[in-house]
Structure 1
Amino acid sequence: MSVPQIRMQSQSAKISIQSTPSAQTIEQPKADMEIHQENAKLTMRTTPSQLTIDQSQAWADMNLKSVLRYISDEAQNGSQACLENIAQTSQEGDELMRIENGRGALIAQAERNSEPPQYDYNIGFIPSNFSVKVHFQPGQVNIDAQSQNVDINTQIHKPFINYRPGNVEIGLRQKANLQVDFVNIQ
């Protein structure tokens, strides 16, 4: 015995999708830039330093004097010696005038004047301490700087944009199909 049957055969639909991706390129040219600045104004004022070294006293201590100083010193020494001699002569005259004090005044004067004077001996070519005088006056530097303005000019350029759109194609690759068969139908 055959039983009637319905046979169904189906086939799904199939879709095909094809896509082309989009592409985009952007090129940005560099901007043109100009920078202009004038030189700063710089003013410098200096006062020179001064170094003064006075070694005239050291030279004088070593008896190496200038002619004018030598003459001046010797004139002063001569004047002083003259005054001392006048004082000594006056004193001796006063001693002789007082004869009532005895005759010993003339003998004492003869003894004093017969002996040579006592001199102090020392090395004469070594200058005395601190005979060289040093004076230093430092200099000064005044700096005045005036900056100038900066001019900046910038010119930008538009970017180059290239765009290719993408594409999507959708199609039916296989249609849906349904087959229905009846078997053993009498």
Structure 2
Amino acid sequence: MNIPQIQIRQQQGLLGIDADLGRYDIKQPQATFEMHTTPIRLDIETIKGQLSVDNTRWHDALGYGPHLEAMSRIYSTCKEIAIQGIAKRVADGNRMAAIHTGENAIASLARESMDDVDNFQFMYMGNADFDNIDIRYEPSKVNIEVEEARVEFNVQVNRPEIEYTVGKRDIYVSQYPKVEIIPPEIDLKI
């Protein structure tokens, strides 16, 4: 025996969405930029150098030195010259007293005395030296003052301008839902 059955068929509903993307418009104005500079300042002050040349020792060595120093030299060496003269007279006297040697001492001493006059040197001048000129140099002094440069920045950032345009949105039903109920065929005879 067949049992009658009810058939139920269901069709689901379908939604359709048609969407376009939105659109962004972004603008960013340039930043406002200002720069101020203060230039470097440099002050230089110089004091001239000093060169001093002292040639008094050079003049003194040539015999043109200060008179007082020449007289002082003569005075200090006179005693020594006098002692040398006395020693020479004593030596000459001893030669003349030595008659037993057979030398003609008076004639020899006369000849030598002429040579002594030519060879006599009395140094009243200063010392002749290769370094008789005194040179002294004081270098110049330099004062430097520096004021550093300054740079000041002023930056103002501008915010971006953003606009969004919404895209098209279409929502529709592409298939409606439905339920279909099919009753069984009932064939009864009574």
Q: Secondary structure at the match of 2:45?
A: strand
Residue 9 (structure 1) aligns with: 9
Shift of 1:164: 0.8
Larger CA deviation: 142-151 vs 9-18: 142-151
Shift of 1:44: 0.9
Counterpart contact for 2:33–2:154, Cα < 8 Å: yes
**1:7-45 CA distance string (max 9 Å, x none):** 222111111122222222321111232222343332111
Aligned counterparts of 2:175 and 2:24: Cα–Cα separation in 1: 34
1:140 aligns with 2:151: no
Supply the AA of the counterpart residue of 1:6. Answer: I
Residue 115 (structure 1) aligns with: 115
Residue 173 (structure 2) aligns with: 172
Pairwise mapping of residues 34-49 of structure 1 onto structure 2 (< 5 A)? Answer: 34-49=34-49
For the structure 1 residues 170 and 56, does the alpha-carbon distance in structure 2 shift closer, same or farther, using more than 3 Å as the test?
farther
Aligned counterparts of 2:94 and 2:144: Cα–Cα separation in 1: 87
Aligned counterparts of 1:160 and 1:129: Cα–Cα separation in 2: 91
**Identity of paired residues, percent?**
23
TM-score (norm 2): 0.55
**1:88-124 CA distance string (max 9 Å, x none):** 7xx68xx6xxxxx8993993852541336569xxxxx
Q: Secondary structure at the match of 1:5?
A: coil
Residue 162 (structure 2) aligns with: 161
Over the residues paired in the alignment, what is the CA RMSD in angstroms? Answer: 4.6
Aligned counterparts of 2:25 and 2:94: Cα–Cα separation in 1: 141
Aligned counterparts of 1:115 and 1:37: Cα–Cα separation in 2: 91
1:22 aligns with 2:34: no
Counterpart contact for 2:39–2:150, Cα < 8 Å: no
Q: Secondary structure at the match of 1:180?
A: strand
Counterpart contact for 1:3–1:184, Cα < 8 Å: no
Supply the AA of the counterpart residue of 2:21. Answer: P
TM-score (norm 1): 0.56
Supply the AA of the counterpart residue of 1:176. Answer: P
Q: Structure 1: which 5+ runs fail to align?
A: 96-100, 120-126
